[in-house]
């Protein structure tokens, strides 16, 4: 009786044998070749496991940023060494020069003292001798005074230490916001009722997420408490005018968290005014003010559209002209000029960011700089990603990313300093002429929707 032939061709050895199917590749192998095939698969699995382990290690390394931390540590070490060497050199020069000068003076004084002793001992002197002694004492006194006039000169224009900063790549993960906004103030049409706004301009969000709004054409500042259905008037609201209890076209408002007073750019009255418990004080007069900002040290910054500059005042010292911190070189588009500066923002380093309205750009002026750098726009008016059209509100997040209310393009742009283009973070049909911008402490983005007479909140996506 013939045996049944259940042999098939092995994929590996190409011989007719009893074979077994591999479920993964659906090929058939003889017993020996199947074992070898499984061994190969096991080796591939081990390679994959090793790759995964290496990748996990890379993730942990990225979390720690070891290589970048090492670079920062090295920069710190090198900078400290440079400072120590410079300081030691200055000390040596100071000690050497001072000691040499004092020794010379001391020798002259000793010689003069010996002469005095000799004259006194001999008891023979006249007016000529006395005048000589007086003149000699005056001379060495002047030398001693000059020796003590050594001073330290600090070069504020050029540092001998190389500055470092963190440069973020285009692929770094930045914040994103839900595109469906929540109306948190206004939104009930144009009007002067407490649940309405008329062409709002600047906003300020306090630590409780209450919103202070410069309600421009209602000539008032209104505060909307968190989740409130209507606002309350905290400044102005007494009609258009220039009395102390009136406002005329308020552009921007900032809140002093210490005494809860509010500082207002009362633009059409050409003054900066403080309101505290219904008591008013004019801080700065005769200024074509638009933007306001207060830094961490309490300095007040004001942009002046007529003079094309930004000035800084120390709180309480408004009787002087302030200090120019941006512009001040006439109207123009050079790096040391501005053209109708509007909104401003001041960061932790006291760098001033200016919406250079007439130049379709945002400028950054570092502290004590003689000129600024373009950090957004600057390529003419337009709607491309490297352009702006009448930039208004500007704010900067903790990562140094710059956000601009690109008014005539009806969008909010984010720019990374040094990049050629920005990106749209809020756009589409969400807004009509966005104006002021602000963040709350959770990173939610608030936008003044100018022509829709409302304030929109875009929630951050965590």
Compute the average pLDDT of residues 410-439.
93
Predicted confidence at residue 166, as pLDDT, reads 56
Structure-block tokens of residue 330? 């006439």
pLDDT at 161: 66
The vertex-244 CA angle with 243 and 247, nearest 5°, equals 70
Give 84's contacts (C-beta < 8 A, 6+ positions apart): none
Percent of the chain clearing pLDDT 90 (strictly above): 53
Q: Average pLDDT, whole number, for the chain?
A: 87
Residue 198 pLDDT > 90, yes or no? yes
Residue 431: the pLDDT is: 93
Give the pLDDT band (50/70/90) at residue 330: very high
Q: Cβ(310)–Cβ(324) under 8 Å?
A: yes
Say which CATH topology domain 177-461 has: Neuraminidase (2.120.10)
pLDDT in tens, 243-262: 999 999 999 999 987 778 99
pLDDT at 360 over 90: yes
> In angstroms, rounded to a whole number, what is the distance separating the alpha carbons of residues 10 and 4?
18
CB within 8 Å of 351: residues ≥ 6 apart: 364, 365, 366, 367
Angstrom CA distances, 167 to 7, 36, 401, 403, 416, stand at 67, 51, 11, 17, 9
What mean pLDDT do residues 432-453 have?
95
Banded model confidence at residue 65, pLDDT cuts 50, 70, 90: low
Instruction: Provide the pLDDT for residue 229.
Output: 94
Q: What is the mean pLDDT of residues 204-216?
A: 94
pLDDT at 153: 65
Band (pLDDT 50/70/90 cuts) for residue 1 is very low
Residue extents of the structural domains in the chain: 8-60, 85-167, 177-461
Burial of 332 (0-12, 13-18, 19+ CB in 10 A): middle
Beta-strand relationship, 182-186 and 391-396: unpaired
pLDDT score of 170: 47
Element (H, E) at 358: none
Geometric angle at alpha carbon 213, from 232 and 195, rounded to 5° = 45
Question: Would the pLDDT of 20 be above 70?
Answer: yes
Over range 333-361, report the average pLDDT. Answer: 96
pLDDT of residue 173: 59
pLDDT at 5 over 90: no
Alpha-carbon distances, residue 407 vs 102, 128, 252, 332 (angstroms) = 68, 86, 16, 21
**pLDDT level of residue 84 (50, 70, 90 thresholds):** confident
The pLDDT of residue 249 is: 96
Most confident region among 1-15, 158-172, 387-401 by mean pLDDT: 387-401
pLDDT for the residue numbered 149: 59
**Tokens at 290, concatenated:** 């638009």
What is the band of 160 on the pLDDT scale with cuts at 50, 70, 90? low
- Taken in order 439, 445, 450, 453, the sign of the CA dihedral is negative
| Model confidence pTM above 0.85 | no
- Tokens 């040499």 belong to 100
pLDDT band (50, 70, 90) for residue 180: very high
206 membership: H or E segment, kind and range: none
Phi, psi of 228 (to 5 degrees): -75, 155
């Amino acid at each position: 009786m013939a045996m049944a032939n259940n042999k098939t061709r092995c994929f590996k050895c190409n011989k007719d044998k009893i074979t077994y199917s591999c479920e993964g590749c659906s090929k058939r192998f003889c017993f020996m070749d199947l074992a070898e095939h499984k061994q190969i698969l096991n080796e591939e699995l081990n390679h994959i496991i090793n790759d995964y382990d290496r990748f996990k290690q890379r993730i942990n390394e990225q979390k720690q940023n070891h290589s970048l931390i090492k670079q920062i540590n090295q920069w710190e070490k090198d900078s400290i060494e440079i400072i120590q060497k410079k300081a030691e050199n200055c000390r040596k020069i100071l000690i050497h020069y001072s000691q040499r000068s004092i020794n010379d003076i001391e020798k002259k004084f000793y010689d003069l003292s010996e002469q005095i002793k000799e004259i006194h001992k001999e008891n023979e002197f006249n007016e000529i001798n006395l005048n000589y002694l007086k003149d000699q004492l005056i001379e060495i006194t002047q030398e001693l005074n000059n020796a003590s006039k050594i001073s330290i000169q600090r070069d504020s224009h050029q540092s001998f230490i190389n500055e470092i900063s963190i440069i973020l790549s285009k692929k770094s993960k930045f914040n994103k916001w839900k595109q469906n906004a929540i109306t948190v103030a206004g939104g009930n049409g144009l009007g002067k009722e407490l649940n309405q706004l008329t062409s709002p301009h600047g906003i300020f969000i306090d630590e409780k997420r209450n919103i202070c709004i410069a309600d421009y054409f209602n000539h008032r500042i209104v505060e909307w408490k968190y989740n409130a259905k209507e606002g309350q008037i905290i400044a102005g609201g007494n009609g258009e005018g220039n009395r102390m209890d009136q406002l005329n076209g308020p552009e921007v408002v900032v809140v002093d968290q210490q005494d809860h007073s509010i500082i207002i750019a009362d633009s059409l009255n050409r003054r900066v005014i403080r309101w505290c418990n219904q008591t008013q004080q004019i801080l700065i007069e005769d200024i074509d003010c638009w933007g306001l900002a207060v830094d961490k040290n309490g300095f007040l910054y004001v942009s002046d559209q007529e003079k094309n500059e930004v000035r800084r005042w120390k709180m309480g010292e408004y009787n002087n002209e302030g200090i120019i911190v941006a512009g001040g070189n006439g109207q123009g588009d050079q790096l040391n000029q501005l053209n109708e500066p509007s909104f401003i923002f001041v960061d932790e380093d006291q760098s001033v960011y200016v919406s250079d309205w007439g130049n379709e750009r945002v400028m950054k002026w570092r502290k004590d700089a003689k000129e600024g750098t373009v950090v957004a726009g600057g390529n003419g008016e337009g709607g491309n990603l490297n352009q702006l059209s009448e930039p208004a509100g500007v704010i900067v997040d903790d990562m140094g990313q710059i956000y601009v209310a690109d008014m005539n393009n009806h969008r909010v742009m984010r720019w990374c300093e040094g990049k050629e283009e920005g990106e749209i973070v809020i756009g589409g049909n969400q807004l009509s002429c966005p104006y002021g911008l602000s963040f709350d402490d959770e990173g939610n983005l608030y936008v003044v929707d100018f022509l829709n007479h409302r304030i929109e909140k875009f929630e951050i996506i965590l």
